[in-house]
C-alpha cells in the first residue's frame, strides 16, 4: 500500500543521485511511498513497476541495482525472500505515529544494513512527533531540514568533488590484471562518488581525507593493498567448473564489497 511521504528540495540537487538514470530517480522517490515506516519493502520488481512506473519502459530490476550500487537502497535476502531497505529513511521521513510497525526483517550489519532505519524511526531534526498542535507527519508542509541537500552531495567547488576518472585510472594502474572498466556509465559514477564521500568521513587507514590530493593518495593505497590479495586478483583455487573470482570496479565500489575489503576480509590491513 502506497503512503504519503515528504520529498525535499535537496532530492533534486543530489549529485550522486543525478548520476543515476532519470527513471531510477523517479523510482527512488516512489520507493519512499511504498516502504513501510522503517523504510523497508519486498523486493518484487514487477509489483514495484506496477505501483511506481506503470506507463514507462525499462527494467525496474536494473534501476534497483543502480540505486543499490549508488548507496541509496540495500537489496538483501533473508530465508530466500528478497527485501529492500531505503537507507537513511528516518533522516528524511516522519511516518505517522499510527502507521503499522514494520513486519519485514531488518538487514544485518554484514549485509550493509548499518545505515538502515530503526524499527521506530525518530522524527527529523526540528520536527516534533505527530501530536496536537504540531505539523502532521507526511503533510504537505516542508519539514525544517528539507531545504538542505541530502548529505551525500558535495557542493559546487568543494575540494572533495569526486575525481571519478582519476580513481578509475588508479584502479587500472594498481590492479592491471583485474577486469578493466571500459564503460563509465551513470551507475558506476554514482557508486564511485558514494564511496569517495564515504571514505572521506572514515577514521581508519588509509582513509579520512579533506582534499583531493589526499583522497587520491588514500585510494591509491587502497587499490595497491587490494592488489596483494590472492582472492581479489584471481590467484586462488577456483571451485570446480567455475573461474577464479576477480574483483572488478563494481565490486570494490559497492557498499558491501568496499566494507569487506576495508575490514581486512581478503588481505592485510592497509597502512
Let me know whether 224 and 118 are in one domain.
Answer: no
pLDDT at 4: 79
Split into its structural domains, the chain has a count of 2
pLDDT at 267: 62
- Edge-to-edge strands of the sheet including 40-42? 40-42, 81-86, 73-78
Q: How far is CA 88 from the centre of its chain?
A: 10
- Residue 222 located in a structural domain: yes
pLDDT at 228: 92
Let me know whether 112 and 228 are in one domain.
Answer: no
**Cβ contacts of 66 within 8 Å, gap of 6 or more:** 20, 21, 24, 186, 187, 190
- Residue 44 located in a structural domain: yes
- Residue 226 located in a structural domain: yes
pLDDT beneath 50, residues of the chain? 114-156, 269-271
pLDDT at 107: 87
Q: Is 138 left (phi over 0), alpha (psi -120 to 50) or beta?
A: left
Let me know whether 27 and 142 are in one domain.
Answer: yes
Q: Provide the residue count of the chain.
A: 271
Let me know whether 106 and 187 are in one domain.
Answer: no
Q: Which domain holds residue 56?
A: 9-123+137-147
- Residue 128 located in a structural domain: no
Q: What is the CATH number of the domain that holds 101?
A: 1.10.10.10
- Residue 157 located in a structural domain: no
Let me know whether 177 and 253 are in one domain.
Answer: yes
Phi, then psi, of 38 in degrees rounded to 5? -100, 5
- Residue 207 located in a structural domain: yes
- Residue 184 located in a structural domain: yes
pLDDT at 159: 67
Let me know whether 48 and 104 are in one domain.
Answer: yes
pLDDT at 1: 52
Let me know whether 39 and 114 are in one domain.
Answer: yes
pLDDT at 264: 80
Let me know whether 118 and 248 are in one domain.
Answer: no
pLDDT at 187: 85
Amino acid at each position: 500500500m502506497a503512503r504519503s511521504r515528504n520529498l525535499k528540495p535537496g532530492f533534486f540537487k543530489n549529485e550522486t543521485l543525478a548520476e543515476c538514470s532519470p527513471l531510477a530517480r523517479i523510482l527512488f522517490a516512489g520507493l519512499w511511498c511504498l516502504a513501510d515506516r522503517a523504510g523497508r519493502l519486498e523486493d518484487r520488481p514487477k509489483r514495484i513497476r506496477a505501483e511506481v512506473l506503470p506507463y514507462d519502459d525499462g527494467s525496474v530490476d536494473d534501476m534497483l541495482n543502480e540505486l543499490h550500487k549508488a548507496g541509496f537502497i540495500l537489496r538483501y535476502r533473508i530465508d530466500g525472500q528478497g527485501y529492500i531497505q531505503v537507507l537513511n529513511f528516518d533522516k528524511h521521513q516522519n511516518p505517522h505515529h499510527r502507521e503499522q510497525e514494520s513486519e519485514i526483517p531488518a538487514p544485518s550489519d554484514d549485509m550493509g544494513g548499518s545505515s538502515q532505519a530503526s524499527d521506530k524511526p525518530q522524527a527529523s531534526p526540528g520536527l516534533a512527533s505527530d501530536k496536537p498542535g504540531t505539523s502532521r507527519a507526511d503533510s504537505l508542509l516542508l519539514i525544517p531540514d528539507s531545504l538542505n541537500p541530502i548529505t551525500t552531495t558535495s557542493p559546487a567547488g568543494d575540494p572533495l568533488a569526486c575525481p571519478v576518472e582519476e580513481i578509475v585510472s588508479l584502479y587500472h594502474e594498481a590492479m592491471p590484471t583485474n577486469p578493466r572498466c571500459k564503460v563509465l556509465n551513470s551507475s558506476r559514477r554514482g557508486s564511485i562518488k558514494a564511496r569517495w564521500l564515504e571514505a572521506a568521513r572514515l577514521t581508519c587507514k588509509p582513509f579520512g581525507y579533506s582534499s583531493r590530493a589526499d583522497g587520491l593518495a588514500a585510494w591509491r593505497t587502497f587499490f595497491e593493498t587490494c592488489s596483494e590479495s590472492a582472492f581479489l586478483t584471481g590467484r586462488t583455487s577456483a571451485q570446480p567448473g567455475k573461474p577464479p573470482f576477480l574483483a572488478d570496479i563494481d565490486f570494490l565500489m559497492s557498499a558491501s564489497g568496499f566494507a569487506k575489503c576495508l575490514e581486512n576480509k581478503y588481505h592485510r590491513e592497509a597502512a
